[in-house]
Structures are given as C-alpha cells and as structure tokens.
Chains A and B, each alone.
Chain A
Amino acid sequence: MKARKGGLLILAAVLVVGSVLIGGRREGAEFAGSDGQAMATVAVIHPDYRPWFGVIWEPPPEIASGLFALQAALGAGVLGYYLGFRRGRAARQRNRSDAGD
C-alpha cells in the first residue's frame, strides 16, 4: 500500500519532468498556456472578432505569479491539514486500542 502510494506520486513527477524534457525539444517551445493559444486560434478563425469586454484588473506579471502561488498554497495547506489530522487521529486510535489489550 505504502509503496504503491509513493509509486503513483513518483510516476506523476516523472510525467511532469518528462514533459519538460520532451516538450522543450520541440521547435519554438515556450510552454505558453493552451488557454492563450486557444484565444489566438479565435483570432485566426475570426480575424474581425474583438473582445467586447476587458479584464477589470490584471495583476502585474510578478504579482500574478505570487497570487497563483497563493492559490496553490491555500489549497495544498488545507488539504495537508486534513490529511495530517486524519492520520494523527488514526494513529491515536491505534495506540489507544493497543493500550487496552
């Protein structure tokens, strides 16, 4: 069980690293976002289309990366809290039942 859990995470990490290595060899690979590429495709299909509503507020790039990190950190933080909480509780219960024997 333990080994398999670690194995899946390693497999995911290998996929990410492999993607960088393989994707990086492609010509003109800049790891641009596919969302942005899709919007560029809109411009190709309908060159006349102009977005009719602009972004209300866009953070400067450096701050945007910080806010993305914040989003990920909040998510990972809460998830990590839950996992640690459950694991700790399970360990306590195990100890208690051991003591009872």
Chain B
Amino acid sequence: MAVLLLAEVTDGALAMDATAKAVSAAKSLGDVTVLCAGASASEAAKEAATIEGVAKVLLAEDALYGHRLAEPTAALIVSLAGDYSHICAPATTDAKNIMPRVAALLDSMILTDVSAVVDADTFERPIYAGNAIQTVKSKDEKKVITFRTSTFDAAGTGGSASVEDAAKADDPALSEWIEDKVAESDRPELTSAGIVVSGGRGLGSEENFALIEKLADKLGAAVGASRAAVDSGYAPNDWQVGQTGKVVAPDLYIAVGISGAIQHLAGMKDSKVIVAINKDEEAPIFQVADYGLVGDLFELVPELTEKL
C-alpha cells in the first residue's frame, strides 16, 4: 500500500511541524509520498525530503498552486491519486478546505481530524467536540484522511528522499486569490508551541489582552483565545482555540479569564499541564486544570509575569 500526503506549504515555506506529524501518523499505512505544491515549493520539497519515513517527494510548482485554492489543488491531487490507497494531509484549514473536495471527486467518504490509526481501514476520530471518540472502519477503496496533528509526535529528520516533478493538472478556473491578511508575529506558532497562554472574555477588552501577551512573551509562548474573546473582538480569529478553531496540546496551557465551555475544552484538554486563572471558583475550567488560581486576573497575571 502507498500513501500520498499533501504537505502544508504556505508562500513557499514548509510547515515542518504539521507535515512531520502527519507523516508520523501516515507511516504505518504504507510508503509515504509527500506532495509539495505551490508557486514556489522547491525549497519546501527539499526540506520535506529530510523527514524520516518519507519515500519520495513530488513537487508541483506552478502559479496555479500559489494560494492553496481548493479547486486547482484538489484537481492536482486527484490527477496524482493513481495507485495510492490512502491520501492524507495534516488537518490545517487548507487541508480541511481541499481534502473533502478530493474525497468526493474520488467517490470516497472523507475521514477528518483522525486522532489515531488502528489499522489500514480503521481510524479513531473525535466527535461532539471531543466528548466522544468514534472508531470507524472505512469501506472505501481509497481512504482520504486529515490527521489531527496535536495527537501525533512529529517524525524526525535525517532522511534523504528523492524529489520528482509532478505535472500540473488542468485549471478548473473557478476562483482567484485576492489577498491574505496575516499578522506578523515573532511568537511561536499556536499549534506547535510548547507553551500557550490564552485569554477569555474575562479580559474585558482588546487593550487588556496586552496582559496575556506580556505573560506569553515572558514564557516564549504562543497566544490563544476563547471563542467568546474572539467574538467580542478582543483577539483575532486565528488565535481561537476550540472545537472550531485550533486544537492544541502544549506542555503547558495557561487559561486566563476563560470559563471553560465544552467548545473551548475540545481544543486544549490534551495539554500536558493546564493552569487556570479565574475569579469564579465554580468555572468548569477548574475541572480540567492541574493548577487553579482563584482571583482577580488583573492582579494575578502581572504578578505571575513578574515572578516567572
């Protein structure tokens, strides 16, 4: 059996962490061929070739693939699908956009957000915001899968797979890219950070989120937010942790002013150590926290920042 894995490539750069975690999830399914697609993707392909367990890298370099648009990228994957038994990707927003389209084109039922591989046909995935884990066995000839990266360790590097060019597929010409609004930040990326500091509605304003950022910067941490904080405009959408935002599992997760709605817990409860700071001692977040601090975050967070 053979696996085709779509690497996460953004503006020419390989997202090593997400891709290496997906490789480690896919390795047991067969020889892994990684596909790097982009307007410029050759550097990403060279890097992907070093991931342990990668047998081959396919490089599809064309302006058509420059902005991860679903229609041309899905057409490319389908054109390459050939003999692969499994077609997979890390469950990033790009892959969540592209892979179900690929699956439907192949008349296959997608398996999204897979958290464990049982065997070549059988997989575990969380449902109901992680309140249940379903084990499903696929009857489809070709399995199309996205892997929840937070539950897999990244494959190591040191490999030296060959890189081959892949022919581009026809352009469905259905969509065009206008712009990306990406916040520049020196902080680590949220889904791969060792420490995450998240703020909730308890912060009360966008300005007060500076408290969270200061604590995060002291720890070299990424910044996250609850849905309530994002909905209230305190934090940008790409900070959202939860069922419909990002799923994280850092070594340390500090939840500040977050009550702990099910939807939020779904995105962080696999963190190794959870610290909760909240004025409400009944807040559900304390039921999953290893260490709780009850009190006024506006006093406790600056004090914590100073003493760490």
Q: Are A and B interaction partners?
A: no
A residues with a Cβ closer than 8 A to B are: none
